[in-house]
């Protein structure tokens, strides 16, 4: 039997109506290689992507040859843990995968999460969507699995140089995620399936001796001076208890603002970083399908279409410095789509009662009649300084301004301010808005005025980008599309510095900043990979 080496791959292009079962693919591969089908070694699909460019929709497949004895997915498995436990603050992807990698090395850990386990967390999400009630410790951002658990489970990332993406995907499949994510170009689990995967991960770790505590909000760090060096001594919880530890991983998400308070109180340095803010845009999904697939839209083999948009905008700096007479300086900033959810829903992602935040999610089937995406504008440290706000946490204040303005404009109960895209482009508000997936409901008005509450040039930049995108994508700027405010939690505006080699805080030995909240990740996979990196650094430090 022909057995090409493991590195040989064959690229195939298939039309929508061409068969892609094993027999058909084997025949295509054999023909490409010039060998008889009967002599061909077993094949496997390694990557599947849709190419809708040039008006022709095709599937692109990368075919390889299956090894005779493939290694088990997600190997090695975690094993029985022992020794002084590492305390991990945060049970999102960074914290979970940090605990998982530590358990592979037999190192014990205690995972602390301010929120609730998956099932109990569902009730609080209903409180958000149906009653507009925000539990500051249990919501779309806080709780078992972090923000990604109930907001989609997208797994694509550009952070391939930071770790082993395949390992993260295999671990998820090993714990119940669908096998298709191993080959899909843009893998996605869905908010209906990811909670079970997160639960399975936790239960596997618990069986090895890893401890999980929910409703365990950390409020401070213990610090000791040993041999003239400041070292972490443990954590303090909101209920007054303390947990002693010589190694603490802070893997909180990007919305855990209070974490920066107790880090600063413990003498841990913080730094301002760039971030992005804007709105969600929602279209009827058939509009996006027609834009992306053309005449092929509606074909039974095509899932709900996605898109990715980028625009470089130049607009005057708006803020305290410009208002004081510094001149009408202009600066280029990126405007881009973020967390696009085909066949999805817009959901309330608020974590504070006086602020309104929205996000997007979809189920594994992606069968909602709506498509939504964040449309956000890059905000640099200099932009925030132009408002007269300085210091490492100044970006948090800008986020709050936007979120509080949105809450007021929405009128309460988590109703969101909304403007038709056509009205926004014309620089005016709306008196009516289309039907929406956002269950708390929309309040027709002027989203541009809400964005102006930041003092930044967010609305002019977004308006410019929408005009450019509308010229490229027929039907994108339409009365049927609506902007929903606001999308403010794309990433943390604060970074917790760490040593590039040891990954520890330079201000407190034994403290490891990790994941999105610390400014080192953006999404489920990159956060998970950062947690793995931290775990490996801890293992090296312990000589494991």
pLDDT computed for residue 119 by the predictor = 86
Indicate if the pLDDT at residue 3 is higher than 70: no
- Looking at residue 95, its pLDDT comes to 98
- Of residues 540 and 41, the one with the higher pLDDT is 540
- Is 142 buried (19+), middle (13-18) or exposed (0-12) by CB count in 10 A? buried
**Mean pLDDT value of segment 306-316:** 91
Q: Report the length, in residues, of the chain.
A: 544
Of residues 410, 457, 443, 448, the one with CA closest to residue 427:
448
Q: Taking 70 as the threshold, does the pLDDT of residue 345 lie above it?
A: yes
Question: Quick one: pLDDT at residue 83?
Answer: 96
Percent of the chain clearing pLDDT 90 (strictly above): 85
List, for residues 32-73, the tens digit of each pLDDT value. Answer: 999 999 999 899 999 999 998 877 899 999 999 988 788 899
**Mean pLDDT for the stretch of residues 321-340:** 73
* Strands 82-89 vs 107-113: parallel, antiparallel or unpaired: parallel
- What pLDDT is stored for residue 69 in this prediction? 80
Bridge-based pairing state of the strands 248-250 and 82-89: parallel
pLDDT of amino acid 161 = 57
Q: Tokens 């530890």 identify what position? A: 245
pLDDT digits (tens, 9 = 90+) for 377-394: 999 999 999 999 999 999
Chain centre to alpha carbon of residue 461: 23
Q: To the nearest 10°, the Cα dihedral for 79, 84, 90, 96? A: -10
CA 489 from centre of chain: 10
Q: pTM here?
A: 0.94
Distance from the first to the final alpha carbon of the chain: 44
The continuous run of DSSP H or E covering 173 comes out as helix 165-174
**Structure-token pair, residue 63:** 């075919």
Please give the structure tokens belonging to residue 530: 């950062």
Indicate the pairing of strand 370-379 with strand 275-284.
antiparallel
pLDDT confidence of residue 53: 82
State the pLDDT at residue 409.
98
Q: Is the pLDDT of residue 364 over 60?
A: yes
pLDDT of residue 325: 45
In terms of Cα–Cα distance, which of 138, 125, 277 is closest to 192? 125
Confidence check: pLDDT of 323 > 50: no
Count Cβ atoms within 10 A of the Cβ of residue 371 and give its class: 0-12 exposed, 13-18 middle, 19 or more buried.
buried
Confidence class for position 324, pLDDT limits 50, 70, 90: very low
Contact 11, 28 (CB under 8 A): no
> What pLDDT band is residue 2 in, cutting at 50, 70 and 90?
low
Is the confidence at residue 91, as pLDDT, over 50?
Answer: yes
Q: What pLDDT does 317 receive?
A: 61
Torsion of CA 511, 512, 517, 520, to 10 degrees: 150
Across 502-528, b (16+ Cβ under 10 Å) vs e yields ebbbebbbbbbbbbbbbbbbbbbbbbb
Q: Is the pLDDT of residue 5 over 70?
A: no
- Rg over CA atoms, the chain: 24
pLDDT score of 152: 65
Summarised one tens digit per residue, pLDDT across range 243-258 is 999 999 999 999 999 9
Burial of 283 (0-12, 13-18, 19+ CB in 10 A): buried
What distance in Å separates the CA atoms of residue 276 and residue 487, rounded to the nearest whole number?
Answer: 9
pLDDT mean across residues, the chain: 93
SS3 for 26-88 is HHHHHHHHCCCHHHECCEEEEEEEEECHHHCCEEEEEEEECCCCCCCCCCCCCCCCEEEEEEE
**Residue 122 reports pLDDT greater than 90:** no
As a whole number of angstroms, the distance between CA 154 and CA 164 comes to: 17
pLDDT tens digit sequence for 257-305: 999 999 999 999 999 999 999 999 999 999 999 999 999 999 999 999 9
Give me the phi and psi of 156, to 5 degrees please. -80, 145
Report the topology of domain 82-270+496-542: FAD/NAD(P)-binding domain (3.50.50)
Phi, psi of 26 (to 5 degrees): -60, -40
At 162 the pLDDT is 60
Query: Tell me: the pLDDT tens digits for 400-448?
Result: 999 999 999 999 999 999 999 999 999 999 999 999 999 999 999 999 9
Which residues are CB-neighbours of 126 under 8 A, at least 6 positions away? none
């Amino acid at each position: 039997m022909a057995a090409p080496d493991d590195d040989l791959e064959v690229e195939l292009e298939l039309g929508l109506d061409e068969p892609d079962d094993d027999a058909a693919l084997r025949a295509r591969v054999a023909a490409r290689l010039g060998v008889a089908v009967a002599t061909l070694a077993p094949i496997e699909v390694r990557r599947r992507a849709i190419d809708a460019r040039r008006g022709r929709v095709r599937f692109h497949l990368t075919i390889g040859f299956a090894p005779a004895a493939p290694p088990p997915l997600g190997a090695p498995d975690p094993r029985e843990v022992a020794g002084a436990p590492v305390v991990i603050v945060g049970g999102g992807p960074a914290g979970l995968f940090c605990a998982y990698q530590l358990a592979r090395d037999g190192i014990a850990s205690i995972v602390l999460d301010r929120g609730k386990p998956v099932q109990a967390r569902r009730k609080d999400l209903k409180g958000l969507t149906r009653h507009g009630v925000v539990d500051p410790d249990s919501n779309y951002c806080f709780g078992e699995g972090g923000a990604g658990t109930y907001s989609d489970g997208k797994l694509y990332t550009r952070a391939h140089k930071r770790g082993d993406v395949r390992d993260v995907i295999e671990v998820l499949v090993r714990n119940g995620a669908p096998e298709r994510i191993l080959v899909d170009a843009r893998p996605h689990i869905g908010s209906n399936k990811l909670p079970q995967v997160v639960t399975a991960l936790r239960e596997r770790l618990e069986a090895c001796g890893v401890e999980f505590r929910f409703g365990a909000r950390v409020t401070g760090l213990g610090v000791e001076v040993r041999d003239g060096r400041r070292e972490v001594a443990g954590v303090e919880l909101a209920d007054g208890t303390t947990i002693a530890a010589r190694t603490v991983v802070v893997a909180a998400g990007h919305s855990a603002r209070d974490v920066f308070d107790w880090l600063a109180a413990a003498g841990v340095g913080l730094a301002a970083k760039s971030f992005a803010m804007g709105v969600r845009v929602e279209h009827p999904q058939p509009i996006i399908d027609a834009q992306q697939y053309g005449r092929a839209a509606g074909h039974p083999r095509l899932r709900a279409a996605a898109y990715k948009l980028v625009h470089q905008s130049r607009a005057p700096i708006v803020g305290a410095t410009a208002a004081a007479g510094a001149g009408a300086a202009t600066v280029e900033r990126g405007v881009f789509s973020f967390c696009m959810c085909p066949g999805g829903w817009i959901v309330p992602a608020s974590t504070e009662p006086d602020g309104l935040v929205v996000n997007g999610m979809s189920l594994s089937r992606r069968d909602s009649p709506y498509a939504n995406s964040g449309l956000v504008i890059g905000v640099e440290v200099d932009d925030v300084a132009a408002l007269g706000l300085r210091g490492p946490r100044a970006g948090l204040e800008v986020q709050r301004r936007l979120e509080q303005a949105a809450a007021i404009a929405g009128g309460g109960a988590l109703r969101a301010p909304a403007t038709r895209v056509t009205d926004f482009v014309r620089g005016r508000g709306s008196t009516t808005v289309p039907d929406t997936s956002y269950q708390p409901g929309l309040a027709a008005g002027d989203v541009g005025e809400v964005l102006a509450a930041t003092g930044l040039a967010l609305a002019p930049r977004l308006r410019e980008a929408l005009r450019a995108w509308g010229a490229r994508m027929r039907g994108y700027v339409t009365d049927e599309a609506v902007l929903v405010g606001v999308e403010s939690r794309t990433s943390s505006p604060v970074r917790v510095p760490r040593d590039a080699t040891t990954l520890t805080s330079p201000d407190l030995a034994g403290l490891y900043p990790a994941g999105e909240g610390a400014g080192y990740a953006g999404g489920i996979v990159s956060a998970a990979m950062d947690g793995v990196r931290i775990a490996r650094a801890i293992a090296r430090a312990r000589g494991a």
